[in-house]
Chain A
Amino acid sequence: MEAVPTLDAGLETGGLSPWQLGLRRFKKGRLGLFAFWIVTFFFFVAIFAPIIVRVLNVDPYALDRASLNDYGLPKGPLGSMSWNHPLGVEPGTGRDILGRLIYGSRLSLIIGTVGTVLSTAFGVLLGIVAGLRRGWVDSLISRIGDVALAFPSLLLIIALANPMTQRLESWGVPKGNTAKLTYILAILTIFGWVYMARLVRGQVLSLRERDFVEAARSFGAGTGHLVFKQLLPNLWPQIIIFVAMSLPGYVSLEATLSFLGVGFQAPTASWGIMLGDSVRYYRADTAYLFIPGGALLILVLGFNLLADGLRDAFDPRSDRQQL
């Protein structure tokens, strides 16, 4: 037998994994990278909102009657933009709009990320179970998904908002915004897992017939090994792209719900509440309408471009035929 060379010498010389290749391609796509930084900026602002608000000296809750005229409208032009209030003040209360925008990003992103993570987790789990077990388990999960999709979910969300929030509070969830947040996240998960589950189920059905999964089974791999070592790594790119694509949907949904008055109420800072509020004043204070709308537009656009960039980089079908 030949002598086996020592092991350490080979450690630095390795190939690039499909991950690394994807990452490299992603970095080359300028738009995707730009969108990545936009999204990162919003996350940064949301995470450090209390500090940023203090540094900029824009309290989202302090009432500033001095900036309003007798009719309760901002005194200055463009919603009374000034050094004290860079984006002006809220009509009626005189709260600082920049401060509310910064705090509002927290709610949008919390609902966006937690909602996406929860519905993705359920979707992936149910999709894998359906794809692996097939048979009646698959039928059951798929039919439940069909029902969830066929439901007029927005109507249900609005109709159940108050009773369900109270129910949650009676179950011991902290009153107020926590209960409302829990309700919205729960509803988003219940109706949101279906698309992810369908995607994963389809992928699992095709992956399980692929030779390398069959090969792993021929080497004695059990179900756990198949799921975590064979299937999941091959699903991750699809999952990540899907997450990036569904995040903006959840962010907009939060705005929609708040706009419709479901869930959160002022003085909670939320982009949807601001939008709903600004519509009432759009003749007298047009600038106010564009600020939360613009922020929402930029964030959603950022997420969408990021998703595009990720898909181009990681989806094998977008530019490569095979690995």
Chain B
Amino acid sequence: MTEPLLSVRDLHVSFGTSEGVVQAVRGVSFDISQGETLAIVGESGSGKSVTASAIMRLNFGADVRVSGSASLDGQDILSMSEEGVRQLRGKDIAMIFQDPLTALNPFYTVGNQIAEAYAIHHPGTSKKDLRELALDSITKVGIPEPLKRLNQYPHEFSGGMRQRIVIAMALINSPKLLIADEPTTALDVTVQAQILELISAMQEAHGSAVILITHDLGVVAEVTKRVLVMYAGRLVETASVEDAFNSPTHPYTRGLLNSVRSLDSDRHSRLEPIPGNPPSLIDLPSGCPFHLRCQYAASLNDRCRSEVPELKAVGNSWSACHLTVEELSSDLRAAT
């Protein structure tokens, strides 16, 4: 097997707050190879965005503690110098932000901002070349009338158009890895599919690997092949999209799937929300973080309450659950 592009090992991130230490990410490990698309799904507060920020070493205030490693092409980002990371950001790893309404500086034309994203890593590029690059890139992301639009300010664009600009900015240096943090959450449903298509198309053109962070399972099904499911700062299941949707192994993944409506589901069936709330990341429950909400409470054993489950192979997937496949399937039958 070829060396993975990015290899995250035992990533821990915690924040000190006035109420206590928030353990946002607790031991996450995964690999992504060149050109691959990977989705990280989970509820709000499950640690998916923090994982992404940690990979880029962004937003690290005084009270943030990070351990583990994240190696890009064999270089550990987490132990790099600040200047080394700065060189990496935007050039090798780029990020698409959730809300395109706020991700652009209101005081510069979009052309200016795209050019700036290139100029940071290519000092000395002539103004004319920069303009041409910017024009080329917004043409490629499908902005109509690019010449006119280049000289406009962010407030003159719609949300979908701004997200296209943000994508153009993120891809102007052809990064090896693109992290898309909920790229469609702030957009109209009608625009979401277009943006996802654009990301896929751009990914192909640039050969970048993509980490797609989302809570929208529809988005996952549309663009990615592999899914990581996060819960309370831990990975609870990693699987191919087909396996995750058709034969989810972890009770949480099942709960997630039952709580969204799909086109082929029975119109009269009720959606089943997962009972309860995600645990507080300051005061985590003992054992499996999901055990308080687990549907399989009947077959819960003591290990669920006392021992944190590790990821282990279940069929083609990896799942962090103490319950055996038999226990899970028998209960599934009992429930229906």
Contact = CB atoms under 8 A, between A and B. Distances in A.
Nearest to B169: A219
B139 A134 contact: no
A7 interface: yes
Contact of A4 (B97, B103, B139): B139
Interface size class of A (residues with CB under 8 A): 35 or more
A17 B106 CA distance: 8
A261 B85 CA distance: 59
B83 to A, nearest CB: 8
A323 B131 CA distance: 24
Interface in B101-151: 101-109, 116-117, 120-121, 128, 131-132, 135-136, 139-140, 146-148, 150-151
A212 B147 contact: no
A17 B153 contact: yes
Contact of B56 (A10, A212, A218): A218
B94 interface: yes
Contacts of B105: 212, 216, 229-230, 233-234
Most A CB atoms within 10 A — which of B89, B91, B101, B153?
A: B153
B135 A233 contact: no
B96 to A, nearest CB: 9
A256 B183 CA distance: 58
A16 B90 CA distance: 28
Nearest to A8: B147
A145 B206 CA distance: 51
Interface residues of B, number: 49
Contacts of B150: 10
Given A4-B132, A4-B135, A15-B153, A220 B120 contact: yes
B227 interface: no
Interface stretch (B58-66, B251-259, B280-288, B313-321): B58-66
Contact of B62 (A13, A135, A212, A220): A135
Given A4-B139, A7-B135, A233-B105, A211 B153 contact: no
Interface string A193-215: 00000000000000000111011
B154 A323 contact: yes
Nearest to A20: B153
A222 B82 CA distance: 10
Q: Which 10 A-B pairs have the closest CB atoms?
A: A14-B151, A10-B147, A15-B152, A219-B90, A220-B90, A233-B107, A323-B106, A211-B102, A220-B89, A218-B95
7 contacts: A13-B148, A14-B109, A15-B152, A15-B156, A18-B153, A229-B116, A233-B105
Interface of B: 56, 58-59, 61-62, 86-91, 94-95, 97-99, 101-109, 116-117, 120-121, 128, 131-132, 135-136, 139-140, 146-148, 150-156, 166, 169-170
